[in-house]
């Protein structure tokens, strides 16, 4: 029937690409580290776009996922990322409280481990 052809077309369609907006310090000393992450994720099929740390959350409106790098300077990250309607992962511990992922007491509610 007609449903058989539709299934075959769907099976032949390319997989959707997950678009990642990665908030980084574009003019910072660790950009090469972030670029390595971009390459790593790209090799696994993700389309990663770097966004500067002082961008507004609107800059990530077309992304499927937001990643905030630990290379950002938390004082330069604008408010509003917490309320963006996107899944968000942060590697910057000083933003955990701003993102309402933890309490506000450093080294009590959040902190760092050794490298």
State the CATH number of the domain containing residue 59. Answer: 3.40.50
Q: How far is CA 17 from the centre of its chain?
A: 15
**pTM of this structure:** 0.79
Integer angstrom CA distances of residue 10 from 5, 6, 16, 47, 85: 9, 6, 12, 22, 28
Tens digits of per-residue pLDDT, 44-87?
999 999 999 999 999 999 999 999 999 999 999 999 999 999 99
The count of structural domains within the chain is 1
Residue 22, in any domain of the structure? yes
Q: 27 lies in which domain range?
A: 18-115
**How sure is the predictor about 105, in pLDDT bands with cuts at 50, 70 and 90?**
confident
- The secondary structure of residue 110, as a DSSP letter, is B
**pLDDT > 90 fraction of the chain, expressed in percent and rounded:** 67
What pLDDT is recorded for position 104?
83
Residue 1, in any domain of the structure: no
Is 41 domain-assigned?
A: yes
pLDDT (tens digit, 9 = 90+) per residue, 52-62? 999 999 999 99
């Amino acid at each position: 029937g007609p449903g058989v052809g539709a299934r075959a077309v769907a099976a032949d369609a390319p997989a959707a690409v997950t678009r990642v907006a990665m908030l980084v310090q574009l003019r910072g000393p660790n950009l090469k580290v972030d670029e390595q992450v971009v390459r790593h994720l790209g090799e696994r099929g993700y389309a990663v776009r770097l966004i500067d740390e002082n961008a507004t959350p609107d800059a990530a409106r077309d992304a499927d996922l937001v990643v905030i790098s630990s290379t950002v300077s938390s004082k330069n990250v604008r408010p509003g990322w917490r309320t963006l309607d996107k899944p968000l992962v942060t590697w910057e511990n000083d933003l955990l409280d701003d993102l309402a992922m933890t309490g506000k007491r450093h080294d009590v509610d959040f902190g760092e481990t050794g490298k």
